[in-house]
Structure 1
């Protein structure tokens, strides 16, 4: 097995700015990393850090520089994919020293962490909120899972499930059916992990399970009404810990301040 820490939807902005005019995402990320460092003994052994997109909110070089410096504080091997708020060029520049980041094109990659094959898929369509997988990405994925003998994690930003949060489902993954067809015949133990929806949701793509992690900066309410308000809340915030052993445990980890523990 391998154990991964998943962070997503950091939405870091340029110095002095606030995401959506409200969120001080630089301070929120720094506090999240502080909290995770303090929690490290409870979470270890961690083998790698997975960052599933929307690292930046504004695509600025300064936002990526700050995010990278904070993520580096965790001292873990790091793997990243872009989200809909990201911009490939400055993101690539900030993470260019990571072996898995290609020098051009889609930020798609394959890595091996212990017995677990980790596959990163780029769903970014620059200039729009929704995501799409390129044919080349799907072909890479098909080949990567065909000969996998251990657990497989597929990381992408846009989840291939509908959550019931209407304004987010409207900017979801456009070609989920193509992804489903790509994985339909795969016999490997595959788990797909994503972000984008700022909350914890479990579902399935065919026989493969799908999990979305909470954001480090804000949360979206589950409101299935047709007239549900479009907007975010200041919490809950969090991250996820993923074990790829026989039990395949995925744990959501809250990052909001809380008193305790208290004796029963």
Structure 2
């Protein structure tokens, strides 16, 4: 199983609503798609962990579908704080499992991809209520391998400003559910715009990079790091019979015209 993990595309049919989004993002995401297509082996699936669109309009999601359409493999998405549930549900009919929340379960090969909806409409922060966590707990009672997709990271980043806008509700129970799950699983997140990996709840967890904007490496505990220019980073997760390997990919892109 080969998984390409992308995040935070922030595509918009009009001017971006989010100030740090690079104005040429609609030309940058196709460079990442082209890199995926150039790999010696195509991924079995591409996952996008939220903020797929920047404004969440129907036109935004039409652009997302157009940009991702060259990928000849399943593309799975979860909502971020910039997404909108109704148009996203219509644009990506991936078997949504709940009438309100964008929860999904997709089986590819021997792996289940469980998509969570951590959106708090109108808020930057994320939440997992009892209903959403009950649904997850039922899914993870099955011991077959699973990859959980979630926009807002529940684990600490080392930066208090970032953590204050991450998953602020449901974190404790989510940790307990992941620890108790009988099967192997991985947790893939987004939101932070800086690619990093950790272990949380006894499980491998990762944040995906973003082609829309990236923060510089900074180990200060407070204050938002500055924006940085440079290649777009995404990760390939190779799940094989002898274990797992994570391969970062650096995609060269033109310099940001506004930095």
Task: Give 1:192 shift.
Answer: 0.4
Quick one: distance in 2 between partners of 1:95 and 1:229? 33
**TM-score w.r.t. structure 1 length?**
0.87
Partner of 1:234: 229
Deviates more, 1:18-27 or 1:237-246: 18-27
Which residues in structure 2 correspond to 1:1-264 (within 5 Å)? 2-17=1-16, 19-20=18-19, 23-24=22-23, 25-37=25-37, 39-40=38-39, 42=40, 44-96=41-93, 98=94, 100-102=95-97, 104-149=99-144, 151-174=145-168, 175-225=170-220, 228-229=223-224, 231-245=226-240, 246-257=242-253
Task: Give 1:230 shift.
Answer: 5.2
Unaligned runs of 5+ in 2: 255-259
Question: Relative to structure 1, is the Cα distance of residues 242 and 61 closer, same or farther in structure 2, using a 3 angstrom cutoff?
Answer: same
User: What SS class does the counterpart of residue 90 from structure 1 fall into?
Assistant: helix
- RMSD of equivalent CA atoms: 2.1
Quick one: distance in 1 between partners of 2:125 and 2:159? 14
Count of aligned pairs between the two proteins:
251
Question: Relative to structure 1, is the Cα distance of residues 111 and 229 closer, same or farther in structure 2, using a 3 angstrom cutoff?
Answer: closer
User: What SS class does the counterpart of residue 210 from structure 1 fall into?
Assistant: strand
Quick one: distance in 2 between partners of 1:78 and 1:235? 26
User: What SS class does the counterpart of residue 249 from structure 1 fall into?
Assistant: strand
Q: Contact 2:235 / 2:247 at 8 angstroms: preserved in 1?
A: yes
Q: Contact 1:68 / 1:94 at 8 angstroms: preserved in 2?
A: yes
1:18-60, CA deviations, whole angstroms, 9 ceiling, x for partnerless residues? 74166122122123223332x23x2x14211111110111122
Question: Relative to structure 1, is the Cα distance of residues 117 and 228 closer, same or farther in structure 2, using a 3 angstrom cutoff?
Answer: same
Give the structure with the higher percent strand: 2
Quick one: distance in 2 between partners of 1:189 and 1:22? 36
Question: Relative to structure 1, is the Cα distance of residues 241 and 134 closer, same or farther in structure 2, using a 3 angstrom cutoff?
Answer: same
Q: Contact 1:83 / 1:196 at 8 angstroms: preserved in 2?
A: yes
User: What SS class does the counterpart of residue 168 from structure 1 fall into?
Assistant: helix
Task: Give 1:16 shift.
Answer: 4.7
Q: Contact 2:218 / 2:225 at 8 angstroms: preserved in 1?
A: no
Q: Contact 2:232 / 2:252 at 8 angstroms: preserved in 1?
A: yes
**TM-score w.r.t. structure 2 length?**
0.88
Question: Relative to structure 1, is the Cα distance of residues 134 and 244 closer, same or farther in structure 2, using a 3 angstrom cutoff?
Answer: farther
Task: Give 1:184 shift.
Answer: 2.5
